[in-house]
Amino acid sequence: MCGIVGYIGSNQAAPIILDGLSKLEYRGYDSAGMAVFDGEKINAKKAVGRLKILENLTHGGETMKGTAGVGHTRWATHGAPSDANSHPHLNAKGTIAVVHNGIIENYIPLKKKMISKGYEFVSETDTEVLAHLLDYYYKGNPLEAISKVLHRVEGSYALGIMFSEYPDEIYAARKDSPLIVGQNEEGCFIASDVPAILKYTRSVYYVDNQEIVQLKREGMKFFSVDEEELTKEAVTIDWDADAAEKAGYEHFMLKEMYEQPKTVTDTISPRIKDNDIVIDELKMTDEELKAIKRIHIVACGSAYHAGVTGKYVIESLARIPVEVDFASEFRYRDPILGDDCMVIVISQSGETADSLAALRDSKAKGYKVLGIVNVVGSSIAREADSVMYTWAGPEIAVATTKAYSAQLAALYLLAMKLAKANNRVSEDRFQQLLVDLRKLPEQIELLLGQKEKIQHFANRYVGAKDIFFIGRGIDYAISLEGSLKLKEISYVHSEAYAAGELKHGTISLIEDGTLVVAVSTQPNLYQKTISNIVEVKARGAFIMAVTSVENQAIEKASDYVVYIPQTDPLFTNSLAIIPLQLFGYYVAVGKGCDVDKPRNLAKSVTVE
């Protein structure tokens, strides 16, 4: 996730900005840049790669003299990591500089408009449109220009802005991307997150949605997006530096779980337009989508599990047969693909060796590959014929949570798009699916609110030897992911089984007190799963059920029940995964495991 730092005061800005950006490195980035006003003009420097490169380029900031500036670490979204795409972005005259974290969803029409007015774009970013819009609206009053621009843009933003005609001011603004401002005796600061400025001040203001801040050496003023002045209360930060990096959460994994509502919103909302689904990145017409008669999903680990859910959703909605393969198997099993087949490779990192090899193999055989990828500019993103990005931002914890949720959301969108192209879904059902899709983020939030309850329950299982997860249909897909989450971070042995399959051998492992987590969210399968619960309960199992609100009948057969809110049965995995993630997390915490860096695992598996 991009990081922003700004400073105006009596000290040199560049070293403070570099230092602040270094405290935001944990957020992940692939390039960095800063702009400093030197008394006459705005100087900007950018560098692809580590922040160290920008530091070396500017001799630790010494070659960029000036006491006002803004800086940025970029996590590529629109356009690969490059100098041109790095921030700050400036207007053509170099008199306005802007750094941005977030996504300007309507940047394409805005860009077209600005081009028609004679503006030239030098980057592929959504952010550059802001620099030109600011230029367009600036008539000598920065606040007015910012306000006008913010009324035009849709999406999310945290911004740091400077105008060379106002060298004693810098500006910040925010909507749906994190941003704070702070002050000490020597100046004022902008930052995406507390660690960047903790060394300088513990008194900060959280900038609220659609607020603008004017920062001067001697203090700050807050305005609404309509330029009305506001009063705000400062908050005193008492976290230590380590806790501040994780925004006060104990682990990155927990922080990332809490980012899931935003991740799902960011993945879904830019692709819902006028009550329809628009996925321009597919680069396929409805006719071309209609011609797809078979789909092969290829992935590893959790991304594979997302693919298994995808199979159920696509087959059910679009009636297109889907095969899901482990990338490591797909590569060597000489799969039978047809001309009418689409290969989908799902990967958070975009660098997983087996997934990349499967992609290359498929392309070599002449098949079109769609990548569902989180890291922009990664190998899979570069080599796939088309890419649908999951906008989860950088994931630091080794065990994936938010990227997995974003993958599910991307697959739902794709399934709905395919269903519509094939006339397989009525308009009423499609609209209801959109309603349910939009509700998912707040429902995820609701489930995250049950953290204490799940923690309490999980504490009873820190000594468990084996835990089983069972479910039928789409609930089996989520059982796979729930089981992986638990075992990879807590080292408790766990298996996921299709609920009806357990009795064909594995049930012999059930002993008195063995925990069986039964997922049951599919109305047509409630009774069937209850029968399987009864089977294992009769062998001494203790049952944790994760089910839908309407399935209260499950209480009789279970020992502990977690309910998920009402949604379309095809979307339940996005909700059922939350208690399962929390459960795995708290078993691991209870055992004192290194949750963010489990033994033997790497975030990106670049070997076969």
Q: Are strands 219-224 and 229-230 parallel, antiparallel or unpaired?
A: antiparallel
| Least CB distance to ligand F6R at residue 354 (A) | 8
The region of 94-102, 235-243, 348-356, 554-562 touching ligand F6R under the rule CB under 6 A is 348-356
Closest approach of ligand F6R to the CB of residue 358, in Å: 11
Q: Least distance (Å) from ligand F6R to the CB of residue 257? A: 12
HSE-CB at 68 with a 13 A cutoff on CA atoms is: 27
Q: Which is nearer to ligand F6R, 150 or 300 (CB)?
A: 300
Of 71, 69, 78, 80, the closest CA to residue 30 belongs to: 80
**Dist. CA 257–CA 72, nearest whole Å:** 25
* Residue with Cβ nearer ligand F6R (324 or 525): 324
Q: Which of 488, 535, 542, 548 binds ligand F6R (CB under 6 A)?
A: 488
CB of 482 to ligand F6R, least distance (A): 11
The SS3 assignment for 104 reads strand
Comparing C-alpha atoms, which of 346, 419, 382, 421 is closest to residue 568?
Answer: 419
Under rule CB under 6 A, how many of the chain's residues touch ligand F6R? 15
Shortest Cβ distance from residue 54 to ligand F6R (Å)? 27
Using the rule CB under 6 A, which residue among 73, 265, 400, 405 binds ligand F6R? 400
Q: Which stretch binds ligand F6R (CB under 6 A): 25-33, 79-87, 330-338, 349-357?
A: 349-357
Q: Give the shortest CB-480-to-ligand F6R separation in angstroms.
A: 11
Stretch of 155-163, 272-280, 294-302, 364-372 contacting ligand F6R, by CB under 6 A: 294-302
Q: Where is 96: in which H helix or E strand?
A: strand 96-101
Rounded distance between C-alpha atoms, residue 261 and residue 257, angstroms: 9
Of the ranges 28-36, 85-93, 347-355, 415-423, which one interacts with ligand F6R (CB under 6 A)?
347-355
Q: Tell which one of 214, 302, 422, 521 touches ligand F6R (CB under 6 A).
A: 302
Query: Could you say which of 58, 127, 349, 422 contacts ligand F6R (CB under 6 A)?
Result: 349
Going by C-alpha positions, the residue among 549, 563, 533 that lies closest to residue 453 is 563
Q: Residue 159 or 484: which CB sits closer to ligand F6R?
A: 484
8 Å CB contact between 69 and 172: no
What SS3 string covers 125-174?
CCCHHHHHHHHHHCCCCHHHHHHHHHHHCCECEEEEEEECCCCCCEEEEE
Q: Which stretch binds ligand F6R (CB under 6 A): 59-67, 246-254, 343-351, 509-517?
A: 343-351
**Crossing angle of helices 402-421/260-268, nearest 10°?**
30
C-alpha closest to that of 212 among 154, 180, 172, 175: 172
Q: Does 303 bind ligand F6R (CB under 6 A)?
A: yes
- Give me the least distance between CB of 244 and ligand F6R, in Å please: 25
Give the number of C-alpha atoms closer than 13 A to the C-alpha of residue 258, restricted to the C-beta side: 13
Catalytic residue among 113, 216, 368, 603: 603
| Minimum separation from the CB atom of position 317 to ligand F6R (A) | 24
Which residues, other chains included, contact 592 with Cβ-Cβ below 8 Å and sequence gap of 6+? none
Q: Are 49 and 73 in contact (CB under 8 A)?
A: no
In the complex, what is the shortest distance from the CB of residue 192 to ligand F6R, in angstroms, rounded to a whole number? 24
CB-CB contact of 265 with 441 (8 Å):
yes
9-18 residues labelled b (16+ CB within 10 A) or e (exposed)? beebbbbbbb
Catalytic residue among 2, 188, 300, 593: 2
**Would you call 512 helix, strand, or coil by DSSP?**
coil
Q: 387 by DSSP, 3-state: which? A: strand
Tell me whether residue 23 is one of the annotated catalytic residues.
Answer: no
Segment interacting with ligand F6R, rule: CB under 6 A, options 49-57, 215-223, 255-263, 297-305: 297-305
Q: How far is the CB of 97 from ligand F6R (least distance, A)?
A: 34
Applying CB under 6 A, among 348, 483, 551, 573 the residue interacting with ligand F6R is: 348
| 301 lies in the binding site for ligand F6R (CB under 6 A) | yes
Using CB under 6 A, which of 127, 355, 422, 479 touches ligand F6R? 355
2 tagged catalytic: yes
Q: What angle in degrees, to the nearest 10, is found between the helix axes of 451-459 and 572-590?
A: 50
Q: Is 521 in the site for ligand F6R (CB under 6 A)?
A: no
For residue 394, cis peptide bond before it (omega within 30 degrees of 0): no
Tell me which of 279, 300, 344, 406 binds ligand F6R, using CB under 6 A. Answer: 300
Smallest separation, CB 386 to ligand F6R (Å):
18
What angle is formed at CA 541 by the lines to CA 535 and CA 544, rounded to 5 degrees?
Answer: 100
Helix (H) or strand (E) holding 356: helix 353-364
Which residues face 298 on adjacent strands? Answer: 325, 345
Q: Which is nearer to ligand F6R, 348 or 551 (CB)?
A: 348
User: Which residue's structure tokens are 């739902």?
Assistant: 412
Distance (Å, whole) CA 5 – CA 22: 10
Q: Residue 267 and residue 118: Cα distance in Å, rounded?
A: 32
Measured from the CB atom, the residue of 303 and 588 that comes closer to ligand F6R is 303
In the bound complex, which residue of the shown chain has the CB atom lying closest to ligand F6R? 301
Scanning residues 458 to 487, which ones bind ligand F6R (CB under 6 A)? 484
Report d(CA 71, CA 161) in Å as an integer: 10
Q: Which of 558, 374, 586 is nearest to 462 (CA)?
A: 586
Residue listed under structure tokens 């996730």: 1
We find the least distance from the C-beta atom of residue 411 to ligand F6R, in angstroms, to be: 13
Stretch that binds ligand F6R, among 301-309, 336-344, 436-444, 545-553 (CB under 6 A): 301-309
The span of 50-58, 62-70, 342-350, 503-511 binding ligand F6R (CB under 6 A) equals 342-350
Angle at CA of residue 207, ends 243 and 179, nearest 5°: 50
- Residues classed as catalytic: 2, 603
Binding site for ligand F6R (CB under 6 A): 300-303, 347-349, 352, 355, 399-400, 484, 488, 604-605
